[in-house]
A and B are shown apart, each in its own frame.
Chain A
Amino acid sequence: MSARDEVLRRVREAVGSTGGTTPPPRAYRTSGDLPAGSSELDDLLVERIEDYRATVQRTGGSDEEIVVAVRSVLGSLGVTSVVCPPAVAAHFLAPNGDQESGIDSRAENAGPVRIVADDGSLDADTLDGIDAVVTGSAVAIAETGTIVLDGGPTCGRRAITLVPDIHVCVVRPDQVVQTVPEALARLDPARPLTFISGPSATSDIELSRVEGVHGPRTLVVILARS
């Protein structure tokens, strides 16, 4: 008998007598009480993200305002190179197709930033030589201060949001939900999903939390709301 058949036989015989099952009770909250799009919802998200020692930058909802905010953040962090999914490169970073010398006079401290649109060919070592990554997001969960990436056009493949040390993530107004169940209902499990709650951290030494281990040590969320 193959290992598969043997294990399945054992499982069948072990649970055989249990009989029918009942659907689990779901008396827990499946949605929040804060109205979608409300400032209370935004405030909760910001408070919870900041609690993890990530930074939140609020900005208006237009593409142009987001571009200014992103460039301002990159400038203030002294970023000289940034990788992003092609859609983000086109939208947020260089709306005029100016991909190489993104000097922006509107942002303080802004220097020349090398913008690398990820075409899937960048290996880990190349990514390790890039300062920051800029992405959009799929969903943000206010109660837990979580942003979720799903490999979509603005989120990119997983490696680009992992290796660079700074992650700048743009959250759009219609992406914010209050609770975990609302978020999961919006996500497609067929996609590669990454739930991010603050910068990388560890509590392995005496259970005291330290931010910054292997993942990006700086997380900046740009919350756009018109």
Chain B
Amino acid sequence: MSGGRGQTFLGMPRAGHPGPTADTAVGHLQGERDFPTAARDALSDSQLRRNLGHATATIRAKRASVVGEVPDWEALRDAGSAIKTDTMARLPELLEQLETEVTARGGVVHWARDAAEANAIVTRLVKQTGETEVVKVKSMATQEIGLNEALEDAGITAYETDLAELIVQLGHDAPSHILVPAIHRGRSEIREIFLREMPNVDPAITDDPRALAEAARGYLRRRFLRAKVAISGANFAVADTGTLVVLESEGNGRMCLTLPETLITVMGIEKLVPTWRDLEVFLQLLPRSSTGERMNPYTSAWTGVHSTEGVPDGPQTFHLVLLDNGRTAALADELGRTALHCIRCSACLNVCPVYERTGGHAYGSVYPGPIGAVLSPQLTGITGGDEPNDSLPFASSLCGACYQVCPVKIDIPSILVQLRAEHVEARKARSKVPTAEAVAMAAAAWTMGDEGRFAKAGRAARMGSPMIRRGRVRVPLPPPLSGWTASRDVPSPPPETFREWWAHRDQSDASEARA
């Protein structure tokens, strides 16, 4: 499966000598524990599982309903997928085109090789304004690079303004979903966080979502009206016009994109679409896949710096920071690169049986769920070692539901399988001592390669049957076999092997025929 990609090592580029993988010491692309360990905690949290079960069931039903009413949905997916394939193939020229257009319209374009460089650029730009507070629109890219922490280190306070990001920030918590970062929190937990962390909240506030949203409005209103600097991400950037696009619901995005004097947008280099017309596809695919709405309440599109009828309209200083941070490493592989087609709708999270049970924190990275399992390890690199992200390609049952709902048809299961193979190859290359799995597979190959050996193995397995009772091994197996049986039932060997039965059956048939 791995084809020519068996040569992936830590810190080394993949085939084609592209960019290095992302530094996991900066930002939030990798957690501290591997997936199975982190998932175990999540699975034992019944409140979390209730919250997730309720939320993902709700959003699945909404999505299915609004996708079902679109007669040309599959044609839109085909177009979305093809546009993104074309974008990646022409990325160098499209990036330069975007830079030219944004610059021509009064914007300033910056390039960041990695998270640290992006953080340094944004920090410098904010400091140049003399401000010590910024308002932020929810942005995966700035979560990825750990921008809030970098700003804090520089004495700048970043206020998250999306309700869910605010809940996460006030709860000193980490996001667990791409679209709804506080999906792991129920309404009563959110009420408690607000009571604890938000000044001037009415102590009699109920846990009605309406009341909680009202409290957030009150808390952020003055900040919006006084903000001088805003930081955003971008859902799309249009290469041929230099237009940036942000989709949102609450109006916090419009506040940040409209009222401040300075706007700084941080965007991964893969977020491009070639032409203005291409948005006609994505503005249909994204809202329906994401929030399950025909259209999200607000979409803002801006091109550089604007004046309306001769009057300044919106921020008069606009900076665009283009971020690599491991993307060019992912881009080098033709299948792996399709993970960069992702438009961050989170439909794959909502249908994933694994995500529904573990939630987003178990994945460690800011990109959780099926897309995170293929994106995060490609950005940070498959090491073949025990890095937490090496465990992500295995955090899937390969059921394929993610592929079915993906609006740009990313074949997540195939990428997962490829990354698993890469991990195994990399592990083999790192270690002189073969892994238990490799030994087991080699033994299986040796056994199955010869008829006599295979027959003997079958008989031998039957002899083990008294050791197994109801799928559990009666006597604990020594490592490494215990690693296998710890989470799996062992099938009881049948009283006779298939081969024995077949030989026996032949004899009975023959005797019947003679009779």
Q: Which of B12-20, B442-450, B474-482 sits within the interface?
A: B12-20
When the two chains form their complex, are residues B324 and A7 in contact, meaning their CB atoms are under 8 A apart?
Answer: yes
Complex interface: chain B residues within 8 A of A27 (CB) = 72, 75, 78-79
Cβ of B387 under 8 Å from chain A: no
Q: Report the separation of the CA atoms of residues A51 and B91 in the bound assembly, to the nearest whole angstrom.
A: 39
Q: Report the separation of the CA atoms of residues A16 and B213 in the bound assembly, to the nearest whole angstrom.
A: 49
When the two chains form their complex, are residues A207 and B55 in contact, meaning their CB atoms are under 8 A apart?
Answer: yes
When the two chains form their complex, are residues A15 and B91 in contact, meaning their CB atoms are under 8 A apart?
Answer: yes
Q: A3-B113, A15-B92, A214-B161 are in contact. Are A162 and B180 (CB under 8 A)?
A: no
Q: Which of B151-159, B296-304, B395-403, B459-467 sits within the interface?
A: B296-304
B102 to chain A, nearest CB (A): 12
Cβ of A153 under 8 Å from chain B: yes
Number of interface residues of B (CB under 8 A): 106
Cβ of A143 under 8 Å from chain B: yes
A50 to chain B, nearest CB (A): 12
Would you give the 0/1 interface string for A155-168, flagging 1 where the beta carbon is closer than 8 Å to chain B? Answer: 01111001100000
Complex interface: chain B residues within 8 A of A85 (CB) = 309
When the two chains form their complex, are residues B299 and A119 in contact, meaning their CB atoms are under 8 A apart?
Answer: no
Q: Which of chain B's residues has its CB closest to A19's CB? A: B89
Complex interface: chain A residues within 8 A of B303 (CB) = 189-192
Cβ of B255 under 8 Å from chain A: yes
When the two chains form their complex, are residues A141 and B295 in contact, meaning their CB atoms are under 8 A apart?
Answer: yes
Residues of A121-169 contacting chain B, CB below 8 A: 124-125, 128, 141, 143-146, 151-153, 156-159, 162-163
Q: Which of chain A's residues has its CB closest to B56's CB? A: A207
Complex interface: chain A residues within 8 A of B117 (CB) = 3
**Contact check: which of A7, A195, A203 meets B299 at CB < 8 Å?**
A195
Q: Which of chain B's residues has its CB closest to A5's CB? A: B111
Q: Report the separation of the CA atoms of residues A119 and B300 in the bound assembly, to the nearest whole angstrom.
A: 22
When the two chains form their complex, are residues B90 and A21 in contact, meaning their CB atoms are under 8 A apart?
Answer: yes
Q: A27-B78, A159-B259 are in contact. Are A215 and B298 (CB under 8 A)?
A: yes
* Most chain B CB atoms below 10 A, which of A158, A197, A201, A213: A213
When the two chains form their complex, are residues B19 and A14 in contact, meaning their CB atoms are under 8 A apart?
Answer: yes
B248 to chain A, nearest CB (A): 9
When the two chains form their complex, are residues A200 and B259 in contact, meaning their CB atoms are under 8 A apart?
Answer: no
Q: Which bracket fits the contact residues of A?
A: 35 or more
Complex interface: chain B residues within 8 A of A77 (CB) = none
**Contact check: which of A7, A25, A48 meets B82 at CB < 8 Å?**
A25
Across the A-B interface, how many residue pairs have beta carbons closer than 8 Å? Answer: 281
**Contact check: which of B85, B276, B329 meets A189 at CB < 8 Å?**
B276
* Most chain B CB atoms below 10 A, which of A10, A128, A145: A10
Complex interface: chain B residues within 8 A of A157 (CB) = 308, 311-314
When the two chains form their complex, are residues A205 and B86 in contact, meaning their CB atoms are under 8 A apart?
Answer: no
When the two chains form their complex, are residues A28 and B16 in contact, meaning their CB atoms are under 8 A apart?
Answer: no
A111 to chain B, nearest CB (A): 26
* Most chain B CB atoms below 10 A, which of A119, A144, A207: A207
Cβ of A12 under 8 Å from chain B: yes
Complex interface: chain A residues within 8 A of B243 (CB) = 189
When the two chains form their complex, are residues A144 and B16 in contact, meaning their CB atoms are under 8 A apart?
Answer: no
Residues of B43-91 contacting chain A, CB below 8 A: 51, 54-55, 58-59, 62, 71-72, 75-76, 78-79, 82-83, 85-86, 88-91
Q: Which of chain A's residues has its CB closest to B76's CB? A: A28
When the two chains form their complex, are residues A3 and B112 in contact, meaning their CB atoms are under 8 A apart?
Answer: yes
**Contact check: which of B16, B51, B83 meets A17 at CB < 8 Å?**
B16
Cβ of A2 under 8 Å from chain B: yes
Q: Report the separation of the CA atoms of residues A205 and B280 in the bound assembly, to the nearest whole angstrom.
A: 30
Q: A24-B86, A200-B249, A202-B250 are in contact. Are A7 and B113 (CB under 8 A)?
A: yes
When the two chains form their complex, are residues B331 and A14 in contact, meaning their CB atoms are under 8 A apart?
Answer: yes
Q: Report the separation of the CA atoms of residues A125 and B225 in the bound assembly, to the nearest whole angstrom.
A: 6
Cβ of A181 under 8 Å from chain B: yes
Would you give the 0/1 interface string for B233-269, flagging 1 where the beta carbon is closer than 8 Å to chain A? Answer: 0000010010100000111101101110000000001
B275 to chain A, nearest CB (A): 10
Interface pairs A-B: 8 shortest CB-CB? A215-B251, A120-B311, A24-B82, A14-B18, A10-B19, A214-B251, A10-B328, A213-B250
A interface vs B, CB < 8 Å?
Answer: 2-4, 6-8, 10-19, 21-30, 48, 51-52, 85, 119-120, 124-125, 128, 141, 143-146, 151-153, 156-159, 162-163, 180-181, 184-185, 189-208, 210, 212-216
Q: List 27 A-B contacts (CB under 8 A).
A: A7-B269, A11-B328, A13-B328, A14-B328, A17-B16, A24-B79, A24-B86, A120-B312, A143-B294, A144-B294, A144-B295, A146-B295, A152-B308, A157-B313, A184-B283, A192-B302, A195-B301, A197-B294, A197-B298, A204-B163, A205-B209, A207-B58, A212-B213, A214-B217, A215-B251, A215-B298, A216-B251
